Structure 1
Amino acid sequence: MQTSDANTRTNDARDQRVFDAVRELLAIQGMRLSMDAVAAQAGCSKQTLYSRYGCKRDLLRKAMQLHVSTATSALSACRETPLRQILLDFALGYLEHRNQPRNRQTSQVIGASAHEFREEARFMYQGSAEALRDHVAEWMRTEIADGRLIHDDPHFMAELLISMICGQEFERQRFHVPHREHARQRRQWAEFAIDSFLRAFAAPAEAAVPPNKNNTRSSSR
């Protein structure tokens, strides 16, 4: 049993190194990332990568699945958690993740070469942004069935929610103009977005929105 536990910890640590290497290299190389570079960055052999994770596309798929699972972890809260708290935790986690410098750089690098690597770009989109929307939609489908959200198209609802959470924040960053760089500013926007979403889609018992202590907002707050 001890040997099995030790092997599990070793494999988990290796997985973490590999996925960390993938994230680091995507921010630098984008879709030009190679298995040789991942192996060197993670400190393992290329043979180990192929035997444990499959080809480059399989490795990227696993890395993106981990990303989506982490980004949507707040949606796994217990049933007794208020709907507003679940959605607010999801929104704050999503904004925090997207605002990390490495992740912003990854988006820029991949976007800059998407026209050159169209098939790879489509694969990355399907495994990240589209998979995230689908995961949120499935959660919403359950909440609709439980009567906490009113019935509508869960995929449209999920896309709308993610769009509301993002707002124009990443366009501001792309054009290097003032944006919500502080956690307090992101929380204020997340609360506004979630409360607006709940006014549209929450069932009556879940629709109550607490008063906002700070009603003063601006485009960059």
Structure 2
Amino acid sequence: MPRAIGQVDESKTEAILDAAAELTALNGAKVSMEAIAKRAGVSKQTLYNRFPSRLEIARALAARRSDMLTQPLRSGGDVEAVLTAFAAGLLEKIVRENVAVAFRSVALMSAEVPELADAVYQAGPGEGLRRLSAWLAEQDRAGALNVPDPDAAAEMFAGMTLGHSHLRAILGVNHPSFDIAARARDTARRFLRAFAV
């Protein structure tokens, strides 16, 4: 079925973001717009129509990752299952996959291009923390948890989950292997004991 005039072909947008994610994981945040367009199989004009700059691509990638990582918070499952799934997603996507290469590149560029680091943080990890905080506040209101400061608790949970594994991944330092499911479950249970009603 042909698109209506002015209708955006979302498959091209996804192809651009997929290409940008792959190239950034391989080469860091300085990947060129031309390379992204070529990898995505779109013209440079199509790329610039959707994303006027690398900053906008970085923001969109971070937002897409945040949406995916926070999906368990929208699942409606029991508290332990939701926190376990959230923790497992963080560990899988941030520690095990090549996301650390992109974060490392952004960190190295942050002095030169602070707006890039801020955009990535706000759309990605910052938004993930805001969503987790909002979810924890809902659990507090529902009586499932006792969370007097949801913002601090959200940061605590993320820190408990990622620990030094995240830092090792960003620095490119080898770290001991671990069972993601077991660590996620253990983190969720310990967190729930701290905030039990």
Residue in 1 that maps onto 2:86: 90
Residue in 1 that maps onto 2:129: 133
Residue in 2 that maps onto 1:147: 143
Contact kept, 8 Å, 2:165 with 2:175, in 1: the verdict is no
Distance in 2 between the 1:105 and 1:52 partners? 25
1:122 aligns with 2:118: yes
- In structure 1, stretches of 5+ residues that fail to align are 204-221
Distance in 1 between the 2:106 and 2:25 partners? 8
Distance in 2 between the 1:196 and 1:179 partners? 21
Residue in 2 that maps onto 1:219: none
With normalisation by structure 1, the TM-score equals: 0.77
The 3-state SS of whatever aligns with 1:167 is: helix
The two structures, once aligned, show a CA RMSD in angstroms of 2.5
The 3-state SS of whatever aligns with 1:32 is: coil
Say which of 158, 173, 177 aligns to 1:176. Answer: 173
Residue in 1 that maps onto 2:186: 192
- In structure 2, stretches of 5+ residues that fail to align are none
1:13 aligns with 2:7: no
Residue in 2 that maps onto 1:208: none
- Matched residues, number: 195
Q: How many percent identity over aligned positions?
A: 26
Moved more, 47-56 or 63-72: 47-56
1:3: Cα distance to partner? Answer: 4.3
1:41: Cα distance to partner? Answer: 1.7
Contact kept, 8 Å, 1:31 with 1:120, in 2: the verdict is no
Residue in 2 that maps onto 1:159: 155
Which protein, 1 or 2, shows the higher relative CO under an 8 Å CA cutoff with sep ≥ 6?
A: 2
With normalisation by structure 2, the TM-score equals: 0.85
1:196: Cα distance to partner? Answer: 0.9
Distance in 1 between the 2:56 and 2:105 partners? 21
Residue in 2 that maps onto 1:107: 103
Q: After superposition, give the CA deviation of every residue in 1:72-131 in whole Å (9 maximum; x if it has no partner).
A: 1111112xx221011101111111111334212222332333333333222222222212
